[in-house]
Amino acid sequence: MSFAMAFSKKEDESGLSSYYNNKTTIIQEARVFNESPISPRKCRQLLTRIVYLLYVGETFSTQESTTLFFGTTKLFQHKDSALRQAVYLAIKELATTAEDVIMVTSSIMKDMQPNSEVIYRPNAIRALCRIIDPSMAQGVERFFKAAIVDKNPSISSAALVSSYHLFPHAKDVVKRWVNEAQEAVNAKSQGYFGSVSSGSSSFFGGGSSQNATQTIPSSSNITQYHALGLLYLMRQQDRMAITKMIQQLGGGKSGAGTTLKNAMALCMLIRYAAKVIEEDPNVQRQMVELLEGWLRHKSDMVNFEAARVICEMKNVTAAQLTKSIAVLQLFLSSPKPVLKFAATRTLAALALSHPASVAACNVDLENLITDTNRSVATYAITTLLKTGNEASVDRLIKQITGFMSEISDEFKVIIVDAIRSLCLKFPAKHAAMLTFLSGVLRDEGGYDFKRAVVEAIFDMIKFIGECKEQALSHLCEFIEDCEFTKLSVRILHLLGIEGPKSSQPAKYIRFIYNRVVLENAPVRAAAVASMAKFGVSSSDPKLNHSIGVLLNRCLDDVDDEVRDRATMYLKVFKAQNLVEPYVKEDSVLSLTALEAKLVSYVKDGSASAQPFDVSSIPKISRAQAAAESARPSTLDTIGVPAPKKTSAAPPPPTAAETQSAYADQLAAVPAFANYGPILNSSARPLPLTESETEYQVTCVKHIFKEHIVFQFNVSNTLPDTVLEQVTMAMQTEDEGLSQEFVLPINSLSAASSPGVAYVSFVRDEPEDYATATFQCTLQFVSKELDPSTGEPEAEGYEDEYQIEEVELSAGGDYIIPSYAAFGAEWDRMKAGPSVTETFGLGASVESLKAACDSIIEVLNMEPLGGTEIPTSSSVHTLQLSGLVTGGGGKVLARCRMTFSQGVGVTLELGVRAEKQDVCQLVVNAVGG
């Protein structure tokens, strides 16, 4: 006790860093390992400092690690048990960076023998796992098998965990230990866990070197948890084996027959069951029966895990939820805060999809609103907001207001997002909710919290017209004292859109102009744009004159962006024909597509002779642009913990990013060096084989000005076969394309898959949009691999493999989606090329919605104004916009459709474009 108090006092006075010193001092003091006689106390202290430095992130060079490692191994023969354990801990950590660690294998193996001291064997097993080469795994197989089924839990657990870490490097060897792992899962508790030196006062403290041991009773059955993890790792590729394992260990419908006594092992089994349900819905019924049995387990942890898994199942019914909700309801009245927190968090997630089922817990949840743990109270309130009725809204908001100042920003965001969803659920209560939001907007808080409040008010403005002017007034007051530039800019942008539509637009001008006077440059620029929108949207000449005066004052601003915006908008005021394209334009260039085209333009030396063609860049609506840049809407995930961690997964690449990657890939092929820039590439690879076949092929089409290049990504899934001279034979009866050359894959094994083969065609008439269907055959020389050398045999045989046809079509190959204001563009192109045709789509098209989906898929054009969803079952007009590659320009399609039973859909297709052959391309695509 006195030593601990002295150490604590020293730590308080000088800190850990001075006690543990630094890396240089430790390396110098390593000579204590060579002293004679060895001082166990000094060595233990030095080993402690080494391990501490490694744990806090300090790195040792390879030479330093090797010196320390082999200095440490000299202590193997010492009889002090505490020192020996510290030695194993140190060599285990140093083994990853030191060299020649394999040399101590024999010393460690001595401590792994069944007749060695029990206290050394677990440490030796863990250290051996770190230092052996994967090729040596077979040599220690006998020791690991014996250790896994050892009657001492500490030895068995050490072997199981070490096998788990060894598995990725020696799968075939570790898989042979499945019987021993199964035996460890089914083993009953032996009543002992490890042994310690009776003379040691502590692990790192001093003590006698006697090796007398004493047993410590243990009833944790932790070995089952470790064994279950290893079994799953071995069988994870075999879903049937996993299902069988769960059913065998589950203990039947009641769960009473299970051999698993460890609660963590049962929780792990429940998670495996959840994974099986997700992958194979056909076994849901059997798994749910097991899960319901575990709801009656004596462990709260097992009860909760089973209830949580049932609540998170896809397509779960209200009847299946009854028992789980009953268990969670019991947890709500538990004296343990962790159980209350877990239950409220799960119910908050469930309330999104099954509010009626969760409503049974409302009485218990209301009792938790005043809980001393504010995290529990927060989740209780968010759940009640989703399950309560309109009459309870005022009372809940009053209770929320009472403790908003006592919780962290993270939970404030959850509360605000819950209010945000409630606004749309009960729009009649908007006044109380808007008052609450405006109140918390004035409170102290970080950016995420303020952003959540502002976006909640944005939604109220968008969906609840009655509160628009009041909400805008609250936002005007907020930007008077807003410390976050991003929020100020967004609010000013919204004021520019919604303010001119209000009954008294002039009242917002003062707040906006104040930003020009008082704020930083980005906010001033946004304020200038916002004021200009009032000017172009107002018919009041007095207001327009005032705005003109204010914009003239901005011409003297110190920031060039602010001056440029003011100059541009003053010019627009004087020329009304500039208002539509520069202020009211509802579309913007796709930034990702623009970036990709600019990169291609800069890299292509010959392209600089011509000006950059902006007309080839597709446009997207401002709503689409905002959706790409804004955070995901939380309306569907209010206050809910994410069931899976998805942040680690990168977002899928956009079409423009994909095309940029293809351009880099093709640029590396010398044969395509003179082809010029790529006009278009397939948005995604087209699969030409089933995913289970031995050879898997996908195709990507690249359109150049005078060439078409087909890229075939080929995978060989046969591990004992090598394919050589892999080529793709393409045949077509259509005209307009002539095959130029084929680039084969020289050698393709399972390890080197996928490989890429190219087939290049010349466009006979580059100005024409050639379409064709190709029959494709994969041709190759197949050679077996010699199992002893891993090299392919000298002789092989020629073989071929028939795959699906590849089609070169209008949609996706020549036409790309592009947004446009359909009415204005349709009228503008009235005098240009146009075609109108009538088609009978036949009785096989069962509805107007099916016809819309089919036309959009065939033409690959952008549906406009929500016309992709018919509002009538008999008559509908679909509006489409696209951009044709290679300078084809814009193309618009108006699809007037009627539907009647027995006849199906009749389509009148009107096409307007900048070139006549583009009109014909669209008509042929639908008629073909």
**pLDDT tens track for 528-561:** 988 888 888 777 778 888 888 888 888 888 999 9
| 289: number of Cβ within 10 Å | 15
Helix (H, G, I), strand (E, B) or coil at 698: strand
Mean pLDDT confidence for 758-771:
85
Mean pLDDT confidence for 520-529:
90
Checking if the pLDDT of 783 tops 60, the result is yes
pLDDT in the model for residue 255: 58
Same fold, 1-99 and 105-234: yes
pLDDT per position as a tens digit, 353-399: 888 888 888 888 888 888 888 888 888 888 888 887 777 777 788 77
The residue type of 287 is: M
Mean pLDDT score of the chain:
80
- The closest of 699, 679, 681 to 689, measured between CA atoms, is 699
Distance (Å, rounded) from C-alpha 123 to C-alpha 158? 8
pLDDT per position as a tens digit, 158-201: 889 888 888 888 888 888 888 888 888 887 644 444 444 433 33
- When computed from its CA atoms, the radius of gyration of the chain, rounded to whole angstroms, is 36
* 609's tokens: 């002779």
pLDDT in the model for residue 342: 93
Phi/psi region, residue 866 (left: phi>0; alpha: psi -120 to 50; beta: rest), is left
pLDDT in the model for residue 636: 38
pLDDT in the model for residue 347: 92
Length of the chain: 928
Which residues lie across from 85 on neighbouring strands? Answer: none
pLDDT per position as a tens digit, 462-472: 888 888 889 99
Phi/psi region, residue 347 (left: phi>0; alpha: psi -120 to 50; beta: rest), is alpha
Distance (Å, rounded) from C-alpha 142 to C-alpha 147? 9
Helix (H, G, I), strand (E, B) or coil at 257: coil
pLDDT in the model for residue 587: 66
Mean pLDDT confidence for 707-732:
86
Put simply, whether the predicted model's pTM sits higher than 0.75 gets the answer no
| 195: number of Cβ within 10 Å | 19
Q: Where are the beta strands (DSSP E) in 660-706?
A: 680-681, 686-687, 695-703
- The matching CATH number, chosen from 1.20.1530.20, 1.25.10.10, 3.50.50.60, 2.60.120.260, for 1-99 is 1.25.10.10
**Cis bond upstream, residue 217 (ω within 30):** no
Backbone angles phi, psi at 248, to 5 degrees: -70, -40
Element (H, E) at 350: helix 337-350
Mean pLDDT confidence for 98-111:
75
- The closest of 477, 472, 449, 450 to 461, measured between CA atoms, is 472
Spatial neighbors of 820 by CB under 8 A, at least 6 apart, are 587, 619, 862, 864, 881, 890, 892
Checking if the pLDDT of 797 tops 90, the result is no
- What is the CATH superfamily name and number for domain 814-927? TATA-Binding Protein (3.30.310.10)
pLDDT in the model for residue 193: 42
Q: Regarding the domain delimited by 655-808, which CATH topology (the fold level of the hierarchy) does it fall under?
A: Immunoglobulin-like (2.60.40)
Report the percent of the chain where pLDDT is more than 70. 86
CA angle 28, 32, 34 (to 5 degrees): 110
Count the alpha carbons within 13 Å of 316 in the hemisphere toward its beta carbon.
Answer: 27
Contact 395, 386 (CB under 8 A): no
Contact 87, 125 (CB under 8 A): no
The residue type of 168 is: P
Distance (Å, rounded) from C-alpha 757 to C-alpha 745? 6
Q: Which residue has the higher pLDDT, 85 or 19?
A: 85
User: Highest-confidence range of 134-138, 697-701, 869-873, by mean pLDDT?
Assistant: 697-701
Q: Regarding the domain delimited by 105-234, which CATH topology (the fold level of the hierarchy) does it fall under?
A: Leucine-rich Repeat Variant (1.25.10)
Q: Which residue has the higher pLDDT, 876 or 217?
A: 876
Q: Which residue has the higher pLDDT, 751 or 448?
A: 448
* 649's tokens: 């997964």
Contact 337, 303 (CB under 8 A): no
pLDDT in the model for residue 253: 64
Q: CA–CA distance from 900 to each of 37, 198, 845, 847, 856 (Å)?
A: 101, 92, 11, 9, 21
Backbone angles phi, psi at 652, to 5 degrees: -65, 145
pLDDT in the model for residue 628: 55
- The closest of 748, 745, 743, 746 to 695, measured between CA atoms, is 748
pLDDT in the model for residue 331: 92
Domain boundaries, the chain: 1-99, 105-234, 655-808, 814-927
Report the percent of the chain where pLDDT is more than 90. 5
pLDDT in the model for residue 12: 45
Of 212-221, 349-358, 578-587, 628-637, the one with minimum mean pLDDT is 628-637
Mean pLDDT confidence for 30-55:
82
Q: How far is CA 572 from the centre of its chain?
A: 44
